[in-house]
Amino acid sequence: MDWAEITLTVPAEHAELAAAVANMAAPGGLYIEDYSDIEQGVREIAHVDLIDESLLSRDRSKTVIRLYVSAEGNPAETTAFLRERLDNAGIEFEITTSGVREDDWANSWKQYFKPLVAGDRLIICPTWEKPPSADGRKVLYIDPGMAFGTGGHHTTRLVLEAMERRIKGGETVLDVGCGSGILSIAALLLGAERADGVDIDPLAVRIARENGKINGFGSPEYNIIHGNLADGISGRYDLIAANISADAVVELISGLRRFLKPGGVFISSGIIDTAEKEVLACLKQHGFVVLERRESGGWVALVSSVGD
Protein backbone atom coordinates (compact mmCIF):
# COMPACT_ATOMS: atom_id res chain seq x y z
CA MET A 1 0.00 0.00 0.00
CA ASP A 2 1.25 3.48 -0.90
CA TRP A 3 1.45 6.04 1.89
CA ALA A 4 1.84 9.79 1.73
CA GLU A 5 3.44 11.92 4.42
CA ILE A 6 1.83 15.32 4.94
CA THR A 7 3.97 17.75 6.92
CA LEU A 8 2.09 20.57 8.61
CA THR A 9 4.10 23.43 10.15
CA VAL A 10 2.32 25.90 12.47
CA PRO A 11 3.30 28.51 15.08
CA ALA A 12 4.07 26.77 18.38
CA GLU A 13 1.34 28.68 20.21
CA HIS A 14 -1.27 27.06 17.96
CA ALA A 15 0.17 23.55 18.17
CA GLU A 16 -2.60 22.09 20.33
CA LEU A 17 -5.45 23.27 18.13
CA ALA A 18 -3.60 22.34 14.92
CA ALA A 19 -2.90 18.86 16.29
CA ALA A 20 -6.60 18.45 17.10
CA VAL A 21 -7.50 19.39 13.52
CA ALA A 22 -4.82 17.03 12.16
CA ASN A 23 -6.13 14.22 14.33
CA MET A 24 -9.58 14.71 12.78
CA ALA A 25 -8.02 14.25 9.34
CA ALA A 26 -5.84 11.24 10.20
CA PRO A 27 -6.86 9.76 13.57
CA GLY A 28 -3.94 8.06 15.25
CA GLY A 29 -1.54 8.72 12.38
CA LEU A 30 0.34 11.70 13.78
CA TYR A 31 3.93 12.45 14.75
CA ILE A 32 4.47 15.82 16.44
CA GLU A 33 7.80 17.68 16.70
CA ASP A 34 7.62 20.48 19.26
CA TYR A 35 10.86 21.95 20.59
CA SER A 36 9.36 25.02 22.26
CA ASP A 37 10.20 23.80 25.77
CA ILE A 38 12.86 21.20 25.12
CA GLU A 39 15.02 21.85 28.19
CA GLN A 40 12.20 21.24 30.65
CA GLY A 41 10.96 18.25 28.69
CA VAL A 42 14.35 16.56 28.62
CA ARG A 43 14.87 17.11 32.36
CA GLU A 44 11.43 15.72 33.22
CA ILE A 45 11.54 12.72 30.90
CA ALA A 46 15.24 11.79 30.65
CA HIS A 47 16.43 13.38 33.91
CA VAL A 48 19.52 14.84 32.26
CA ASP A 49 20.81 18.38 31.71
CA LEU A 50 23.05 17.79 28.69
CA ILE A 51 21.11 18.24 25.42
CA ASP A 52 22.40 17.64 21.91
CA GLU A 53 23.28 20.90 20.14
CA SER A 54 21.29 19.86 17.06
CA LEU A 55 18.13 19.77 19.18
CA LEU A 56 18.87 23.10 20.85
CA SER A 57 19.27 24.71 17.41
CA ARG A 58 15.77 23.72 16.25
CA ASP A 59 13.26 26.49 15.53
CA ARG A 60 11.26 26.68 18.75
CA SER A 61 8.69 29.07 17.35
CA LYS A 62 7.28 26.35 15.08
CA THR A 63 5.65 22.98 15.63
CA VAL A 64 5.79 20.30 12.95
CA ILE A 65 2.96 17.78 12.68
CA ARG A 66 3.39 14.80 10.36
CA LEU A 67 0.38 12.86 9.13
CA TYR A 68 0.45 9.56 7.28
CA VAL A 69 -2.39 8.82 4.88
CA SER A 70 -2.85 5.84 2.58
CA ALA A 71 -3.90 6.28 -1.02
CA GLU A 72 -7.22 4.70 -0.07
CA GLY A 73 -7.61 7.39 2.57
CA ASN A 74 -7.56 10.09 -0.13
CA PRO A 75 -4.54 12.31 0.68
CA ALA A 76 -5.89 15.04 -1.61
CA GLU A 77 -9.04 15.46 0.46
CA THR A 78 -7.01 15.25 3.66
CA THR A 79 -4.92 18.27 2.65
CA ALA A 80 -8.07 20.12 1.56
CA PHE A 81 -9.63 19.36 4.94
CA LEU A 82 -6.55 20.69 6.75
CA ARG A 83 -6.39 23.88 4.69
CA GLU A 84 -10.08 24.61 5.20
CA ARG A 85 -10.09 23.96 8.95
CA LEU A 86 -6.87 25.85 9.66
CA ASP A 87 -7.93 28.80 7.50
CA ASN A 88 -11.22 28.96 9.39
CA ALA A 89 -9.34 28.83 12.68
CA GLY A 90 -7.09 31.72 11.61
CA ILE A 91 -3.91 29.67 12.00
CA GLU A 92 -0.93 30.36 9.73
CA PHE A 93 0.45 27.13 8.29
CA GLU A 94 2.65 25.51 5.68
CA ILE A 95 1.89 22.13 4.11
CA THR A 96 4.42 19.98 2.28
CA THR A 97 4.11 16.42 1.05
CA SER A 98 6.30 13.44 0.29
CA GLY A 99 5.86 9.82 -0.66
CA VAL A 100 3.31 10.69 -3.32
CA ARG A 101 3.48 13.97 -5.21
CA GLU A 102 0.55 16.19 -4.25
CA ASP A 103 -0.34 16.86 -7.88
CA ASP A 104 -0.60 13.08 -8.41
CA TRP A 105 -3.03 12.55 -5.53
CA ALA A 106 -5.97 13.95 -7.43
CA ASN A 107 -5.56 10.98 -9.78
CA SER A 108 -4.03 8.20 -7.65
CA TRP A 109 -6.93 8.06 -5.16
CA LYS A 110 -9.65 8.09 -7.82
CA GLN A 111 -9.61 4.32 -8.06
CA TYR A 112 -11.02 4.22 -4.51
CA PHE A 113 -13.77 6.83 -5.01
CA LYS A 114 -16.83 4.95 -6.26
CA PRO A 115 -20.51 5.94 -6.50
CA LEU A 116 -22.15 6.03 -3.10
CA VAL A 117 -25.68 6.57 -1.86
CA ALA A 118 -26.48 9.48 0.46
CA GLY A 119 -29.71 9.33 2.41
CA ASP A 120 -32.78 8.20 0.48
CA ARG A 121 -32.74 10.58 -2.47
CA LEU A 122 -29.19 11.00 -3.77
CA ILE A 123 -26.36 9.08 -5.38
CA ILE A 124 -22.96 10.78 -5.41
CA CYS A 125 -20.96 9.77 -8.45
CA PRO A 126 -17.42 10.79 -9.42
CA THR A 127 -17.32 12.26 -12.89
CA TRP A 128 -15.06 9.49 -14.18
CA GLU A 129 -17.45 6.68 -13.12
CA LYS A 130 -20.68 5.46 -14.68
CA PRO A 131 -23.49 5.79 -12.14
CA PRO A 132 -25.31 2.64 -11.06
CA SER A 133 -29.05 2.28 -11.45
CA ALA A 134 -30.46 5.36 -9.73
CA ASP A 135 -33.71 3.72 -8.55
CA GLY A 136 -35.40 7.11 -8.44
CA ARG A 137 -32.48 8.90 -6.79
CA LYS A 138 -30.94 12.08 -8.15
CA VAL A 139 -27.34 11.66 -9.35
CA LEU A 140 -24.85 14.26 -8.08
CA TYR A 141 -21.67 14.27 -10.17
CA ILE A 142 -18.58 15.49 -8.37
CA ASP A 143 -14.89 15.98 -9.10
CA PRO A 144 -13.48 17.44 -5.87
CA GLY A 145 -9.98 18.00 -7.22
CA MET A 146 -8.06 19.47 -4.27
CA ALA A 147 -11.19 20.79 -2.51
CA PHE A 148 -12.89 19.11 0.43
CA GLY A 149 -16.16 17.31 -0.23
CA THR A 150 -16.68 13.93 -1.91
CA GLY A 151 -19.57 12.84 0.27
CA GLY A 152 -17.53 10.06 1.83
CA HIS A 153 -16.57 11.94 4.98
CA HIS A 154 -18.89 11.58 7.99
CA THR A 155 -19.37 15.33 8.31
CA THR A 156 -20.56 15.77 4.73
CA ARG A 157 -22.91 12.80 4.83
CA LEU A 158 -24.48 14.06 8.06
CA VAL A 159 -25.34 17.37 6.41
CA LEU A 160 -26.68 15.69 3.27
CA GLU A 161 -28.97 13.50 5.37
CA ALA A 162 -30.19 16.47 7.41
CA MET A 163 -30.78 18.55 4.28
CA GLU A 164 -32.82 15.77 2.75
CA ARG A 165 -35.24 15.93 5.66
CA ARG A 166 -35.58 19.73 5.49
CA ILE A 167 -35.73 20.56 1.79
CA LYS A 168 -39.23 20.07 0.41
CA GLY A 169 -39.03 22.36 -2.64
CA GLY A 170 -38.50 26.03 -3.40
CA GLU A 171 -36.10 26.86 -0.55
CA THR A 172 -33.13 29.20 -0.64
CA VAL A 173 -29.91 27.69 0.74
CA LEU A 174 -26.55 29.10 1.84
CA ASP A 175 -23.48 26.86 2.18
CA VAL A 176 -20.74 28.45 4.30
CA GLY A 177 -17.32 26.98 3.51
CA CYS A 178 -18.64 25.28 0.38
CA GLY A 179 -15.49 23.37 -0.61
CA SER A 180 -16.26 21.30 -3.71
CA GLY A 181 -19.82 22.66 -3.84
CA ILE A 182 -21.34 19.29 -3.00
CA LEU A 183 -23.87 20.63 -0.46
CA SER A 184 -25.06 23.49 -2.68
CA ILE A 185 -25.51 21.16 -5.65
CA ALA A 186 -27.27 18.58 -3.48
CA ALA A 187 -29.69 21.25 -2.25
CA LEU A 188 -30.70 22.08 -5.82
CA LEU A 189 -31.09 18.42 -6.75
CA LEU A 190 -33.30 17.96 -3.68
CA GLY A 191 -35.56 20.78 -4.85
CA ALA A 192 -34.18 24.06 -3.53
CA GLU A 193 -34.86 27.08 -5.72
CA ARG A 194 -31.46 28.71 -5.20
CA ALA A 195 -28.19 27.76 -3.53
CA ASP A 196 -25.36 30.15 -2.74
CA GLY A 197 -21.95 28.96 -1.59
CA VAL A 198 -19.12 30.96 -0.07
CA ASP A 199 -15.50 29.94 0.57
CA ILE A 200 -12.32 31.78 1.45
CA ASP A 201 -10.21 29.40 -0.68
CA PRO A 202 -10.04 30.54 -4.33
CA LEU A 203 -9.22 26.98 -5.44
CA ALA A 204 -12.37 25.66 -3.79
CA VAL A 205 -14.41 28.42 -5.42
CA ARG A 206 -13.14 27.46 -8.86
CA ILE A 207 -13.78 23.76 -8.29
CA ALA A 208 -17.26 24.39 -6.87
CA ARG A 209 -18.19 26.45 -9.93
CA GLU A 210 -16.93 23.70 -12.23
CA ASN A 211 -18.93 21.07 -10.36
CA GLY A 212 -22.03 23.23 -10.68
CA LYS A 213 -21.61 23.29 -14.47
CA ILE A 214 -21.10 19.52 -14.54
CA ASN A 215 -24.50 19.11 -12.87
CA GLY A 216 -26.17 21.68 -15.11
CA PHE A 217 -26.38 24.54 -12.61
CA GLY A 218 -25.29 28.14 -12.92
CA SER A 219 -26.47 31.67 -12.19
CA PRO A 220 -29.01 32.66 -10.99
CA GLU A 221 -29.89 29.43 -9.14
CA TYR A 222 -26.29 28.48 -8.25
CA ASN A 223 -23.80 31.12 -7.09
CA ILE A 224 -20.36 30.54 -5.59
CA ILE A 225 -18.72 33.53 -3.93
CA HIS A 226 -15.09 34.02 -2.91
CA GLY A 227 -14.85 35.49 0.58
CA ASN A 228 -16.27 35.01 4.03
CA LEU A 229 -19.85 35.32 5.22
CA ALA A 230 -19.69 39.05 5.76
CA ASP A 231 -17.98 39.83 2.46
CA GLY A 232 -20.41 38.63 -0.15
CA ILE A 233 -23.70 37.61 1.45
CA SER A 234 -26.59 39.98 2.05
CA GLY A 235 -29.76 37.93 1.58
CA ARG A 236 -31.80 35.77 3.92
CA TYR A 237 -32.18 32.02 3.57
CA ASP A 238 -34.50 29.18 4.48
CA LEU A 239 -31.55 26.92 5.24
CA ILE A 240 -27.92 27.63 6.08
CA ALA A 241 -25.37 24.81 6.18
CA ALA A 242 -21.85 25.04 7.58
CA ASN A 243 -19.67 21.94 7.41
CA ILE A 244 -16.56 23.59 8.83
CA SER A 245 -15.27 23.06 12.40
CA ALA A 246 -16.56 23.56 15.92
CA ASP A 247 -14.47 26.71 16.45
CA ALA A 248 -15.59 28.19 13.14
CA VAL A 249 -19.23 27.31 13.86
CA VAL A 250 -19.02 29.08 17.22
CA GLU A 251 -17.56 32.15 15.54
CA LEU A 252 -20.29 32.07 12.90
CA ILE A 253 -23.30 31.75 15.20
CA SER A 254 -23.26 35.27 16.66
CA GLY A 255 -23.94 36.94 13.31
CA LEU A 256 -26.06 34.25 11.75
CA ARG A 257 -29.58 35.31 12.66
CA ARG A 258 -29.66 38.18 10.18
CA PHE A 259 -29.13 35.72 7.33
CA LEU A 260 -31.94 33.34 8.35
CA LYS A 261 -35.54 33.80 7.30
CA PRO A 262 -38.19 33.40 10.01
CA GLY A 263 -38.56 29.68 10.58
CA GLY A 264 -35.27 28.97 8.80
CA VAL A 265 -32.86 26.28 9.97
CA PHE A 266 -29.11 26.16 10.54
CA ILE A 267 -27.30 22.85 9.93
CA SER A 268 -23.86 22.86 11.53
CA SER A 269 -21.39 20.03 11.04
CA GLY A 270 -17.67 19.35 11.22
CA ILE A 271 -18.13 19.18 14.99
CA ILE A 272 -15.99 16.58 16.73
CA ASP A 273 -18.00 15.05 19.58
CA THR A 274 -15.69 16.41 22.28
CA ALA A 275 -16.45 19.98 21.13
CA GLU A 276 -20.23 19.56 20.96
CA LYS A 277 -20.92 21.14 24.35
CA GLU A 278 -19.18 24.36 23.32
CA VAL A 279 -21.31 24.61 20.17
CA LEU A 280 -24.52 23.83 22.06
CA ALA A 281 -23.75 26.51 24.64
CA CYS A 282 -23.14 29.09 21.92
CA LEU A 283 -26.35 28.19 20.09
CA LYS A 284 -28.32 28.59 23.31
CA GLN A 285 -26.62 31.88 24.12
CA HIS A 286 -27.74 33.34 20.80
CA GLY A 287 -31.30 32.10 20.94
CA PHE A 288 -31.09 28.94 18.82
CA VAL A 289 -33.05 25.80 19.68
CA VAL A 290 -31.69 22.42 18.57
CA LEU A 291 -34.29 20.50 16.57
CA GLU A 292 -32.24 17.48 15.59
CA ARG A 293 -28.89 15.88 16.40
CA ARG A 294 -27.10 13.43 14.11
CA GLU A 295 -23.87 11.56 14.86
CA SER A 296 -21.52 9.32 12.90
CA GLY A 297 -17.96 8.19 13.51
CA GLY A 298 -17.39 10.59 16.40
CA TRP A 299 -18.71 13.58 14.43
CA VAL A 300 -21.88 15.54 15.21
CA ALA A 301 -24.27 17.60 13.10
CA LEU A 302 -26.88 19.86 14.72
CA VAL A 303 -30.05 21.22 13.13
CA SER A 304 -31.26 24.34 14.93
CA SER A 305 -33.52 27.32 14.49
CA VAL A 306 -34.11 30.59 16.25
CA GLY A 307 -36.50 30.10 19.16
CA ASP A 308 -39.65 32.14 19.69
Of the spans 44-48, 94-98, 283-287, which averages the highest pLDDT?
283-287
List the domains of the chain with CATH numbers: 3-109 (3.30.70.120), 151-306 (3.40.50.150)
Nearest-angstrom CA–CA distance, 133 and 143: 20
Residue 222 gets which letter from DSSP?
E
Taking a C-beta distance cutoff of 8 angstroms, is the pair 90, 246 a contact? no
- Which alpha helices (H) appear in the chain, and where do they start and end? 15-25, 38-45, 53-56, 75-89, 102-108, 154-166, 182-189, 202-214, 229-232, 246-253, 276-285
**What is residue 146's predicted lDDT score, i.e. its pLDDT?**
61
Tell me the pLDDT tens digit for each residue of 194-245: 999 999 888 889 999 999 999 999 889 999 999 877 667 888 999 999 998 8
**What is residue 12's predicted lDDT score, i.e. its pLDDT?**
85
Judging by beta carbons within 10 Å of its beta carbon (0-12, 13-18, 19+), is residue 135 exposed, middle or buried? exposed
What is the band of 63 on the pLDDT scale with cuts at 50, 70, 90?
confident
**What is residue 27's predicted lDDT score, i.e. its pLDDT?**
57
Nearest-angstrom CA–CA distance, 293 and 308: 20
Nearest-angstrom CA–CA distance, 216 and 231: 27
- Confidence check: pLDDT of 52 > 60: no
Residue 179 gets which letter from DSSP?
T
